[in-house]
């Protein structure tokens, strides 16, 4: 078993760093609460105006992108024995990467013990010396995908298995035993702290569910948050149109949004699980890294998807009727389609003309790039220690998934100083144009205003990230020059030479110039930060 990680303990105790209170800004320089008037009224009347919401730019590519062709990684985890299993023998055993399934004791047919090999096999059925804890699963399997995300690759981890096999526990966990998602987010912000002074990193979170073949925003109260549509960006990558996104600055904010989304996620009781997820949940993090260098900025973008699928189930086993029966049918439809997609992608006889049935379900359409495109992907197959048929079915799916190959590429680009200036001018022009459009509308509809406010927040986030990266680079240059000046002065003092005659005064002038420029950038950064906080507060109040 792995040693306890202090970050995991912080999640359990709730002692993660809290984000600072919002400092609100308005044109008069006064501070105040965004709730002092209607959010719609405030959003439609304040300067600068919100721009039209557009799809966030597709991941940037460098001229010669780094590519990595690799198979989907697959792990299997067996859930603990529960009270209902008291009179049934455990059918599973594990050794290293191997999982063994014993014959079904209820079958009249002669069967042999089956063996399967995966990237990881996690034994959680009983707390013996081989027991795999929540932390073990993350450290030995999930953590690798955070590393890939920070390298600039898109990544995806999804949990698959029958109802009641431990998928939500593995992905979400509990307050005392956090799953992959909260542990990964805790590590992410620790890594961001380590990158301070090197890169400026921003993270945006979104959370949606697919329920009865419809996409629902789990972080929005707007009436338009249901039945969202899946579109394609200019790179033909699928995304959810109108899905709300929020900047997260620490793990406490992530946990807040996870709790908010899970509170309204569709669940119900069936014969197989007293708290069965009736929807597929997709929690996404968009990570943007800016590293400012002489004459330009290096940018990396990555999308990290963490998916908790609804449980596969057999109607006669769940005892479902009416609404539950309809839910089960739609769950099975999407999972059957997922199985067909996995089979097609894993087939040795696959041809370039073969049509992969992504569009036959909302789930596979949304995960299209994760399953067969630009992504490093992992599957965690959660299995029951006592249900032979369902466990065998899940293991077979997992075996097929091992043979899927994706071709991930680093999403990065370099933006020179002239491009930065042109981009800022273009965004400011859009702001000015849209102020006029918004002012001509007497009663803008709620969804339109929310979309525009969200886009305004994104505009100021981009400005803030760019200024932050430049300030940090300037501080580094200043520190280097100061150090060089001190060392040179010490040498000259020792040798008795004149400082003025050696060009040291030029170094001093450069330090003064950098310091003044840095002060100007810092003032700009503070102004942008205040406006960002103001618009963020309005967006959260909606």
Which residues are known binding-site members for ATP? 161-168
Instruction: Write out the H or E segment, with its range, that includes residue 365.
Output: helix 362-366
Task: Answer yes or no: are the C-beta atoms of 307 and 159 closer than 8 Å.
Answer: yes
Any alpha helices (H) in 105-142, and if so which ranges? 134-137
Summarize the annotated binding site as residue ranges: 161-168
Distance CA 275, CA 267 (A): 6
The DSSP result for 441-467, as a single string, is: -SS--HHHHHHHHHHHHHHHHHHHHHH
CA-based torsion, 371, 412, 208, 173: positive or negative: positive
Task: Answer yes or no: are the C-beta atoms of 272 and 393 closer than 8 Å.
Answer: no
The region that residue 245 occupies, defined by phi over 0 for left and psi between -120 and 50 for alpha, beta otherwise, is: beta
**Which pair of tokens denotes residue 282?**
């997709």
Distance CA 162, CA 144 (A): 26
The 10 Å CB-count burial string (b at 16+, else e) for 218-248 is bbbeeeebeebebeeeeeebbbbebbbbbbb
The residue behind tokens 């993660």 is 16
| Residue 387 CB partners (closer than 8 Å, separation 6+) | 162
The residue behind tokens 């769940």 is 318
**Which pair of tokens denotes residue 247?**
């900047």
Alpha-carbon torsion, ordered 397, 403, 404, 410, to 10 deg: 130
Task: Answer yes or no: are the C-beta atoms of 91 and 101 closer than 8 Å.
Answer: yes
**Which pair of tokens denotes residue 188?**
């992410």
Q: What are phi and psi of 292, to 5 degrees?
A: -85, 125
Catalytic residues: 164, 166-169, 308, 311
Task: Answer yes or no: are the C-beta atoms of 261 and 207 closer than 8 Å.
Answer: yes
Distance CA 16, CA 9 (A): 9
Using only the alpha carbons of the chain, give its radius of gyration: 27
| Residue 79 CB partners (closer than 8 Å, separation 6+) | 124, 125, 164, 165, 166, 169, 382, 383, 384, 385
Distance CA 145, CA 181 (A): 11
């Amino acid at each position: 078993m792995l040693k306890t990680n202090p970050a995991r303990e912080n999640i359990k105790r709730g002692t993660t760093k809290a984000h600072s209170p919002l400092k609100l800004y308005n044109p008069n320089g006064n501070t105040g609460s965004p709730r002092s008037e209607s959010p719609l009224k405030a959003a439609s009347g304040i300067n600068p105006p919100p721009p039209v919401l557009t799809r966030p730019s597709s991941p940037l590519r460098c001229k010669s992108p780094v590519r990595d062709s690799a198979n989907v990684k697959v792990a299997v985890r067996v859930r603990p024995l529960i009270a209902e299993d008291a009179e049934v023998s455990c059918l599973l055993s594990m050794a290293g990467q191997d999982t063994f399934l014993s014959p079904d004791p209820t079958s009249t047919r002669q069967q042999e013990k089956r063996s399967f090999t995966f990237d990881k096999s996690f034994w959680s059925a009983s707390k013996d010396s081989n027991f795999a804890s929540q932390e073990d699963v993350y450290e030995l399997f999930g953590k690798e995908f955070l590393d890939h995300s920070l390298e600039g690759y898109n990544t995806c981890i999804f949990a698959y298995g029958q109802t009641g096999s431990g998928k939500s526990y593995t992905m979400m966990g509990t307050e005392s035993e956090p799953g992959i998602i909260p542990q990964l987010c805790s590590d992410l912000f620790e890594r961001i702290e380590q990158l301070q002074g090197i890169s400026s990193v921003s993270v945006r979170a979104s959370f949606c569910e697919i329920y009865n073949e419809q996409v629902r925003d789990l972080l929005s109260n707007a009436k338009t948050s249901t039945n969202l549509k899946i579109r394609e960006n200019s790179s033909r990558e699928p995304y959810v149109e109108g899905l709300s996104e929020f900047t997260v600055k620490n793990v406490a904010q992530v946990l807040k949004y996870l709790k908010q989304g899970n509170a309204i996620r569709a669940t119900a009781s069936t014969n197989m699980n007293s708290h069965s997820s009736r929807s597929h949940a997709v929690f996404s993090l968009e990570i943007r890294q800016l590293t400012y260098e002489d004459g330009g900025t290096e940018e990396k973008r990555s999308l990290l998807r963490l998916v908790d699928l609804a449980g596969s189930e057999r109607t006669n086993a769940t005892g479902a009727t009416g609404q539950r029966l309809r839910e089960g049918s739609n769950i099975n439809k999407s999972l059957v389609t997922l199985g067909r997609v996995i089979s097609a992608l894993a087939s040795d006889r696959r041809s370039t003309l073969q049509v992969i049935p992504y569009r036959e379900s909302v789930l596979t359409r949304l995960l299209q790039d994760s399953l067969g495109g630009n992504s490093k992907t992992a599957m965690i197959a959660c299995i029951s220690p006592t249900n032979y048929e369902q466990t065998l079915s899940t293991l077979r799916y997992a075996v097929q998934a091992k043979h899927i190959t994706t071709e991930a590429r680093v999403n990065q680009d370099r933006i020179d100083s002239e491009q930065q200036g042109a981009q800022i001018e273009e965004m400011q022009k859009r702001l000015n144009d849209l102020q006029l459009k918004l002012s001509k509308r007497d009663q803008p509809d709620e969804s339109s205003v929310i979309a525009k406010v969200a886009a305004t927040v994104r505009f100021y986030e981009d400005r803030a990230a760019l200024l932050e990266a430049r300030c940090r680079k300037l501080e580094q240059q200043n520190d280097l020059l100061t150090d060089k000046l001190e060392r040179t002065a010490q040498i000259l003092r020792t040798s008795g030479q004149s400082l003025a005659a050696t060009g040291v005064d030029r170094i001093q002038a450069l330090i003064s110039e950098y310091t003044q420029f840095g002060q100007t950038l810092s003032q700009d950064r503070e102004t942008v930060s205040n406006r960002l906080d103001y618009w963020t507060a309005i967006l959260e109040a909606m």
